[in-house]
Structure 1
C-alpha cells in the first residue's frame, strides 16, 4: 500500500512540545467503558481472520459509542442488518482472489455497496479487516492531524481513501518522532480533536 508522505515539512519539534504538554490531560478523557479495549482487540482478530461469524453488531456499536446502550438510532440498526448480509458476500469475494485483498480494494468494495455517506463505517470495517495497515479514522483524529500539520483550509471531515493514507502516514511518523505507541496516539488524537472542535 503506497503511503502519501505528508509529514516531510512538519515541525516535529513544535508537535512534540504540544503533545508532551497536553497528552496526559487529553488521553485521560478517553473512556474505556465506552470503548472497551478487550472487545476491540477481539473484533480486529476475528474480522482480519475473515471468520464466518463475526460480532458485527457489537463491533459497530463499539465504533458508534453505543456499547452500553440498549437503544440506538433505527438507521444504524438497519445498517447493521445490511452489513451483516454483506459480510458473507465479502468473504466469498476475498476468497476468490488468488491473494489477500489489498486494503484499498476492501475499502472500495464496501464503499461501492454502502455509499459515500457511510464513509466512516466503511473505513472502520476496512480497519478491522486490515488493522495493521489501516488506522481508525474519524472527524476528530483527522482534525487533530490537520491542526498539528497546519493544513491550510482543511476539510472538516475525512471523505476518501487519500485521507486514510494521510492519517496512516502521519501516525507512522508520529510513532517514531514522538516515541509513543500508535494505539495511544490514536486515543490522544481523538480526544484532542474533540477539544479542538469545541473551540471552533
Structure 2
C-alpha cells in the first residue's frame, strides 16, 4: 500500500479527536532550551542560502540534543569534522548544476557519502538546505505518524527518501485539516511519538539468575 493510499484512507475525524485530547500535554513537553528556536531559524537561513561558512557544529549539536554541551560523544565530534569537509564538496557539486538541486538529489548526495547508518543526519542536512520541502524526520515523529494512520506493521525507524516524502505529505494534510502550524504540529508529533515508544519491561535479579 502506497503512502498516498494510506493518507486517503485515514480517518481524520478520529485523528482530530486524539490530537485534540493529547496536544496540550505533549506539546508542552517540547524544550526550547534544548532546541532554541532562534538559532534553528538561523541555521535554516544560512544552509538554504548555500553559504560557505555555516555553523555545522552548532546545527548538528542542536539536532542531536547536545545544545550547550561540550562533553558530547567523540564519534559525533568526528562526524562533525567529516561533514564540515563535505560541505565544501557539496557546494562545488551545487555550483556545476544547471539548476538548484532538488531535495531528493540533496538527500541522496549526503546519503551516498555518510552511509545508511547516518540516515537521520543526512535527512536533517537536507531539511536545513530545503526547509520548505523537507521536514525534520526521526523515529519519534515517524512513529507518531504511523500510529495516527493506523499503519499495519510499520517500520520501526525511517530509512529512505520515501519515508521523508510520506511524512511531508502527512504534515501538509494534517495541518490543513487540523488547523495547526506545521512547525508546532511537528513538535507535538515528536513528543507524542516519544511517549508511544514501547518500553522494555524491567527484569528482576531473579530473572537473570
TM-score band (shorter)?
Answer: over 0.9
Q: 3-state SS of the aligned residue for 1:91?
A: helix
- Who is 1:62 aligned against? 62
Structure 1, unpaired ranges of 5+: none
Q: Indicate the residue corresponding to 1:150 in structure 2.
A: 150
Residues 1-200 of structure 1 correspond to what in structure 2 (within 5 A)?
Answer: 4-5=3-4, 6-198=6-198
Q: Aligned partners of 1:126 and 1:159: how far apart in 2?
A: 14
The structure number with the bigger radius of gyration is 2
Alpha-carbon deviation of 1:84? 0.1
Query: Deviation per CA, 1:21-74, whole angstroms, max 9, x where unpaired?
Result: 110000000000000000000000000000010000000000000002111011
TM-score, normalisation: structure 2? 0.93
Aligned length: 198
- Rounded to whole Å, the distance in 2 between the matches of 1:104 and 1:116 is 15
Structure 2 portions without partners, runs of 5+: 201-209
* Partner-residue secondary structure (3-state), 2:7: coil
Q: Which fold has the larger relative contact order, with Cα–Cα distance below 8 Å and residues 6 or more apart in sequence? A: 1
What root-mean-square deviation, in Å, do the aligned CA atoms of Structure 1 and Structure 2 show?
1.2
Provide the C-alpha distance between the structure 2 equivalents of 1:35 and 1:151, rounded to a whole number of angstroms. Answer: 29
In the alignment, the residues of structure 1 paired with residue 106 and residue 156 of structure 2 have an alpha-carbon distance, to the nearest angstrom, of: 24
Q: 1:198: how far off? A: 4.6
In the superposition, the TM-score normalised over structure 1's length comes to 0.97
Distance 1:138 1:82 in 2: 21
